[in-house]
Structure 1
């Protein structure tokens, strides 16, 4: 078994066939398996998975839950999926995303097989924004084939890659650091962890599609936060970055310190405290932002009461 793939599904009936077709249509010269984990969907996702399980039993290996595990805080990958995997490499695609290149797995395996000094390989992705009805290719500052840096990973999807493009060596899924448990979005810690652990290669080819804002996705389940909830999210990220500093070098710690100050500036913006933003240690990070972003922060602070009323009304 060369590659083990995992696919997390929750009420993805409208999109799931695209994901499953992306798996079974892969043109490869090796064996691969796909663990499709349904987290007690209430739509027809289970019926669709069973259909593909019956048709492609050598590829589709389902895991059905009778009660939702995500809502109980259970680490689904660690408990239910990783112990079953047999592949040399692990690839990922959630049930509302899909692969659009039938050679995706082959290209990434070929790269990792011939570059033993790399621990992971990613690629470019098409973004479908369901909130804006827009379709675009995710653009990066440097779109050439290159290595993903720790700093890229800190920027998330916009700076590095989307999870649907990821393939990494099996051993890096075994035991992850404590900071993995400190925020709810698993792909962000993974991106940071991999760039801390070894070399990650970016291929400038569009081989997957990321649907943003789908029913059942993390973004739709969390909804629009109140301002107090946003402050708590920022504090959680600060603690997350502080924990990462325990595991990494001095240079990366300096980059994490910038991220921490950035989160603190966001908190001050929510509180309308522009005066403090213009003092040390925040002013250098603020001055490094674009003119558009600085103006946005200024307006939110100056018209703080109006901003609070508008945001809290949206969150209800």
Structure 2
């Protein structure tokens, strides 16, 4: 069995996928790299096949009809043979020194007597035109040891464990029934939300591992693009609302964290709907909150009672103006603009 499986979802990625793949190759025989060609129309499939031929036993090319980012991740999970699983988007890459440290630690833990469910490391915003790179750390978590949710520190508003940060135990993803929706952007939020109640043990290493490239005009976190795909953001939001009865999550810290995560996703949906400025999208905003209310009246009031929840639903133009004040927080979470 491989120690770590990487899944690289690729769609028309010929311009940048090789940088991503090359950054993962130093893992050698400890890793498998699944290049998932999601129905590309450029040279992505050709590049993937060439890498598989050059690195047999390490790289596998998977070709499928276009199903979107989520279906590419699903394909990665279905085909993974590694003990642990990590998604790396095709325009991102990893830092070599941090990579080696993480592999050493995963190797050590896998030979120990405790099962590790989630490994967390830092990610860095590689934003075009910005010299100072923003590093996203989890300073509230114990470092360099296995711990449980009870030992985790308080997550403040705007502090979230994103897909870029996490490596999961592969079997946990299968056992919790994670299945991401097809043809939907922003499914990375489901990816780091749905498995959480199944996570019993965590490990945080304070190294700048994942390099998250941001700045392409067509990127899914570009505000203009987000507004054009708002129906997909709402779909993800509703899937997260439906995923759990959060009141029944037994661990208080985990429950609090999941409430906060759901709140910020709802805030992002709401702000994008407001900023679009159309009556149609303001109606979608009302419909989203109605959906939450009908699904779980306690959740509805909990979200509204939150600092952000209150600003999202103030009436009239003045209320909408105040709502956009929460925009800076959502920017921190998704990193756009």
> Do they fold alike, i.e. is TM over 0.5?
yes
Mapped to 2, the partners of 1:255 and 1:144 lie a distance apart of 16
- Distance (whole Å) between structure 2 residues aligned to residue 96 and residue 153 of structure 1: 32
The whole-number CA distance in structure 2 between the counterparts of 1:232 and 1:136 is: 27
In the aligned structure 1, how far is the partner of 2:39 from the partner of 2:209?
A: 29
Contact 2:143 2:205 in 1 (8 A): yes
Residue-by-residue CA offset, 1:228-250 (whole Å, 9 max, x unaligned): x7588458525522432179525
TM-score (norm 1): 0.69
Residue by residue over 1:76-134, the C-alpha shift from the partner in whole angstroms, topping out at 9 and shown as x without a partner, is 343x4334332222232121111212414333332344362421212111111248676
Task: State how far apart, in whole Å, the 1-side matches of 2:267 and 2:243 are.
Answer: 16
- The structure 1 residue matched to 2:307, chosen from 286, 289, 312, is 286
| Aligned counterpart in structure 2 of residue 106 of structure 1, from 104, 107, 110 | 104
Structure 2 residue matching 1:18: 3-state secondary structure: helix
Instruction: State yes or no: 1:193 paired with 2:189.
Output: no
Structure 1: unaligned runs, 5 residues or longer: 274-279, 309-316
Check the 8 A contact 1:90/1:169 in 2, yes or no.
yes
Deviations 1:205-259 (A, max 9, x none): 1122111244765436981316xx7588458525522432179525455665566
Structure 2 unaligned blocks of 5 or more:
275-281, 287-300, 325-337
Q: Does the 8 Å CA contact 1:121/1:168 hold for their aligned counterparts?
A: yes
Q: Which moved more, 1:1-10 or 1:110-119?
A: 110-119
Other-structure match for 2:31:
32
Contact kept? 1:15, 1:95, Cα under 8 Å: yes
CA distance in 1, matches of 2:154, 2:44: 32
Query: Whole-Å Cα distance in 1 between the matches of residues 141 and 18 of structure 2?
Result: 30
TM alignment of 1:204-215, pairs within 5 A:
204-214=206-216
Instruction: For 2:131 and 2:313, locate their aligned partners in 1 and report how far apart those are by CA, in whole Å.
Output: 27
Residue 134 of structure 2 corresponds to: 136
Please state how far the C-alpha of 1:8 moved relative to its aligned partner: 0.8
Assess, with a 3 A threshold, how the Cα gap between structure 1 residues 176 and 264 changes in structure 2: closer, same or farther.
same
- Change beyond 3 A, Cα 1:14–1:178: closer
- Figure out how many residues of one structure are paired with residues of the other and give that number: 288
Q: Per-residue deviation at 1:203?
A: 1.0
Distance 1:232 1:115 in 2: 42
CA distance in 2, matches of 1:91, 1:153: 25
Tell me the TM-score normalised to structure 2 length.
0.65
The alpha-carbon distance between structure 1 residues 194 and 176, as it changes in their structure 2 partners (threshold 3 A), is: closer
Query: What does residue 276 of structure 1 align with?
Result: none
Report the Cα distance in structure 2 between the residues aligned to 1:81 and 1:264, rounded to whole angstroms: 30
Which of 115, 118, 121 aligns to 1:120? It is 118
Query: C-alpha separation between the residues in 1 aligned to 2:33 and 2:179?
Result: 27
**What secondary structure sits across from 2:22 in the alignment?**
helix
Quick one: distance in 2 between partners of 1:95 and 1:59? 17
Counterpart for residue 92 of structure 1? 87
Counterparts of residues 106-255 of structure 1 (less than 5 Å) = 106-114=104-112, 116-130=114-128, 135-142=133-140, 145=143, 149=149, 158-163=159-164, 165-177=165-177, 180-181=180-181, 184-197=185-198, 198-214=200-216, 217-219=219-221, 223-225=225-227, 230=230, 233-234=233-234, 237-238=237-238, 240-245=240-245, 248-249=248-249, 251=252
Answering whether residue 92 of structure 2 is matched by residue 59 of structure 1, we say no
**1:26-50 alpha-carbon deviations (Å, 9 max, x no partner):** 26xx543211111122233233323
CA-based RMSD of the aligned residues comes to: 4.7
For residues 138-195 of structure 1, give each alpha carbon's deviation from its aligned partner in whole angstroms, at most 9, with x where no partner exists: 24453762758599999899422443x4322221122444785497433322322333
**Is residue 123–residue 203 contact of structure 1 (8 Å, CA) maintained in 2?**
yes
Deviation at 1:265, TM superposition (A): 10
Distance 1:129 1:283, change over 3 A: same
* Structure 1 SS opposite 2:210: strand
Shift of 1:261: 6.3
CA distance in 2, matches of 1:201, 1:11: 35
Q: Deviations over 1:3-57 (max 9, x none)?
A: 3221111122232122111121226xx5432111111222332333233222212
